[in-house]
Chain A
């Protein structure tokens, strides 16, 4: 008697759910497809190494709806920064999903990182932290933006390439010896995706993007950045470094077409 009534009750609940929550079921299906996509990317990008969702080791901040799909600001926070060796930024539904891989050197403060990226369609964006022990942890944000990879870069390719390789480095405040200082590095570069069509000639501009950036402070590495077509035009990266009060900062950048640029910046405390 008791069992029957329980079962009836359970069936009643299931029935109610099915009737009133059909959209939820549809959403679950869409979510499953996105999760499948992520698992597929994990197997390609991380050779099937386990990637564990985390609430603590890495956090991602991105606008829920981007104003400009070709210029979406992303902030990564790594609260337990001393454990972090590198971070990956993966834009799941971009055709080239890996946007950047940033490895922190001894002069870095791996607590946070900012980047600007292109987003091609409504997508999950995954941030993956690699610990010094070699384990991988992920955080995710959903971003509504579309057309970022094919958005034309300006009136002409030549115009977009003007001043290519020029760099600027800005400190949020004067550096103080022994303290972490926030810096933003900007490099002038079109970062052509290869998916941008010239509306007049109807030709695609070949991909030309920053492949590698190395930031050193004195003789120590701050960051090694492996970039890709998903980085925005004029790539910018915000990072922190630990000042020793006197050294200069050097940046070497190169692109996939053999371009190579170097700049040095005075970031000493009495600057």
Chain B
């Protein structure tokens, strides 16, 4: 039944379920977020599912255990957007720190990606994996970031067989490890 309702509405239903359980006096619990059938088109920040069909969901310990296999680390965290009417005399100097060795594609998890961008994204992944679709990949941004879920979904659909989704992202990584300053991948541009 829930599935029939489609993507954006399922979130509303979940909210209602949670709300109803709260109002009827049932113990308040956060309902499981279901995977959308395709890419997520709702608000990009918010609670994400605990699964990603076709990919493995990993925590920090599992990521660390995977590192010796030299996975391709794909950071899709958004770049900071310069406020439109920020006065000229203000120093605007954003920086982005990530897991050392990560390739940064800001915003590559958007529900709608320009075709040209999608081509660049896949071509660069092709290069980074040396054309090996079974090379381990790790996609991430920050917690509650649908962008990394979507990017993982894209890579699974593209035929990569060992996609790992690390929902803890940079936030969890930097709890225990160092981060390195990164700039967007060549040709990708500082898109949001």
Measured CB to CB, the residues of A under 8 A from B are 26-27, 29-30, 33, 37, 40-41, 44-45, 93, 95-98, 120-122, 144, 146-147, 149, 193-195, 199-200, 202, 204, 206-207, 228-229, 256
Contact = CB atoms under 8 A, between A and B. Distances in A.
A17 B107 CA distance: 41
Contacts of B158: none
B46 to A, nearest CB: 8
A264 to B, nearest CB: 29
B95 A96 contact: no
Interface stretch (B23-31, B47-55, B83-91, B119-127): B83-91
A99 to B, nearest CB: 11
B95 A30 contact: no
B83 A207 contact: yes
Nearest to B171: A146
B97 A121 contact: yes
Ordered nearest first, which 10 A-B pairs have the shortest CB separation? A194-B83, A30-B178, A95-B94, A207-B83, A199-B43, A95-B80, A33-B181, A122-B174, A93-B95, A44-B91
A201 B179 CA distance: 33
B134 interface: no
Interface of B: 43, 45-46, 80-87, 90-95, 97, 100, 142, 171, 174-175, 178-181
B142 A146 contact: yes
The dominant DSSP class at the B interface is: loop
Given A44-B91, A96-B86, A199 B171 contact: no
Contacts of A45: 91
Contact of B180 (A33, A149, A200): A33
B80 A93 contact: no
B92 A206 contact: no
Given A195-B80, A195-B81, A207-B86, A97 B181 contact: no
Contacts of B178: 26-27, 29-30
A194 B67 CA distance: 37
12 contacts: A29-B180, A41-B91, A44-B93, A95-B94, A98-B91, A122-B174, A194-B85, A194-B86, A195-B80, A199-B43, A200-B43, A206-B83
A40 B171 CA distance: 25
A93 B97 contact: yes
Contact of B85 (A96, A146, A200, A207): A207
A40 B93 CA distance: 10
B92 A95 contact: yes
A229 B91 CA distance: 11
B106 to A, nearest CB: 13
